[in-house]
Amino acid sequence: MQTQTNRWSGHGLYLIIMAILISGVFLSGQRINYTWHWERLFPYIINTEPQDIIAETDGTVVVESGTLRIAPDYGGVPQVVEEYSKLVAHDGDLIFQGDTLARIEGWRFGPIAEGLWVTIKISFISLVFSIILGLIFGLMRISHRQVLRNLAVTYVEVIRGTPLLVQIFIVYFFIGTVFDLDRFTAGVAALSIFTGAYVAEIVRAGIQAVPTGQMEAARSLGMNYVQAMCYVIMPQAIKRTLPPLAGQFINLIKDSSLVSVISITDLTKAGREVVSGSFAPFEVWFTVAALYLIVTGALSWAIQILEKRLSASD
């Protein structure tokens, strides 16, 4: 049995190892003559600098009831600015395209924070749909009807046998063109279809891991097949499938970085854009990696809590 002394010594050894790893990263940066500029990264996470509102056309400024409007010189739709903190142009001023009209003061999320939100959103929506697809095709895999089993096997084998990057291109450029899907919807569809195939196999394995006597006992009590699956088999299967499902959902979050190839500004694409503007590649990519780790760690922690609660209910 682990003693208190062994536990604290283990923690101490862990801290020493982590300190050595962090020092190694720092010394590596020194060896390649790299100067760290973490301060360059902050405006790309939380930006507190005033934001300029730029004129989109040439025209005359009209200010009425706190609303700024540009009357174009050559006709067209006027530009209207309703929200601002400070006016730069005034009523009656002649404005040219590109001039500053007003400023918005206060803090706002930078591109890295916005990319993180897109990653969380696309991962969560894809997770929900992948669970639905996984349950449907997982049940089809164990169906008594041959046609359903054949369809499920075809889906699983085709999706697992082709790279996710290729599937994203097919969904966006072919299916997305046919059904007029936007980038975000196509990205969600590709991630959901890809992850759903793996979830289907996990669900199938979890159901088949439940002893067959459980189904026979439930049917002998007067339950039909659907009732036995819902009240007897699936609750036991879910407990068995939580650990592999956690790993698959973590992979989903990491795989979401591939949607950047269809111009979705997720965390990875935002990192690439920030690198070109900040000239701080190591700081950006270490920050991006840390944010992915925080998101996946939170998901892993939530599933561990759910697993403990389900095991306590036995």
* pLDDT for res 26: 77
The two three-digit tokens of residue 75, written as one number: 């006709």
Average pLDDT over residues 191-217: 89
| 162 secondary structure, DSSP code | S
Amino acid code (one letter) for 258: L
- Compute the distance between CA of residue 291 and CA of residue 273 in angstroms, rounded to an integer: 16
* pLDDT for res 166: 94
- Compute the distance between CA of residue 128 and CA of residue 306 in angstroms, rounded to an integer: 17
Which of 8-12, 46-50, 205-209, 295-299 is the most confident on average? 295-299
H or E element, residue 105:
none
Residue 277's Cβ-side half-sphere holds a number of Cα atoms within 13 Å equal to 14
* pLDDT for res 73: 76
* pLDDT for res 161: 93
Beta pairing partners, 54: 100
Spell out where the chain has E strands. 46-47, 51-54, 59-64, 67-72, 79-81, 86-87, 94-95, 100-104, 108-109
Mean pLDDT (the chain, rounded): 86
- Compute the distance between CA of residue 248 and CA of residue 229 in angstroms, rounded to an integer: 23
* pLDDT for res 314: 57
**pLDDT at 77 exceeding the cut of 90:** no
| Cα 303 to Cα 202, 238, 239, distances in angstroms | 16, 12, 11
